[in-house]
């Protein structure tokens, strides 16, 4: 039998808090989603002033990154290159926009952190900051 690492409450809160604090410092409200290794939500925060539609988008970015074991942007790039629509995946939660990043521990994806509300590059930058905080305890 093997032991599988998982994201817990403490890691989830460290990621959310780090992203929230940095987004607030920049004066840019966002939605933050943290998912487990199956893509199911562990935490979701919509900062005051963040677009309402960014809630499901952040959740879906986290779902996609966890399920596909790669950044959510990779799905969009892949399906566009093949001429597909993301609906081809058969589940409307799959989303090909940047901002969802997998959390990798000991070579295994244990979850994902996603941000929505800014550019894809800024969303990915903040998600990566959240992952670092979750994994280092900072």
pLDDT in tens, the chain (138 residues): 878 888 999 999 999 999 999 999 999 999 999 999 999 999 999 999 999 999 999 999 999 999 999 999 998 888 766 666 666 667 889 888 999 999 999 999 999 999 999 999 999 999 999 999 999 965
Q: CB–CB of 115/32 below 8 Å?
A: yes
pTM of the entire predicted model:
0.93
Out of 3.40.190.290, 3.30.450.150, 3.40.50.80, 1.20.120.1690, the CATH code matching 9-136 is 3.30.450.150
CA distance 128 to 103: 9
Q: CA-CA distances (angstroms) from residue 78 to 48, 52, 94, 113, 115?
A: 34, 28, 13, 20, 21
């Amino acid at each position: 039998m093997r032991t599988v690492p998982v994201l817990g409450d403490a890691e989830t809160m460290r990621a959310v808090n780090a992203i929230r604090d940095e987004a607030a410092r920049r004066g840019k409200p966002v939605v933050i989603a943290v998912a487990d290794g199956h893509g199911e939500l562990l935490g979701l925060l919509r900062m005051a002033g963040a677009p309402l539609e960014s809630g499901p988008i952040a959740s879906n970015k986290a779902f996609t990154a966890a399920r596909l074991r790669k950044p959510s942007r990779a799905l969009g790039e892949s399906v566009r290159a093949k001429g597909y629509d993301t609906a081809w995946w058969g589940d409307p939660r799959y989303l090909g926009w940047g901002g969802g990043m997998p959390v990798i521990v000991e070579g295994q994806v244990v979850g994902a952190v996603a941000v929505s509300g800014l550019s894809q590059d800024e969303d990915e930058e903040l998600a990566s900051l959240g992952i670092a905080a979750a994994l280092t305890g900072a």
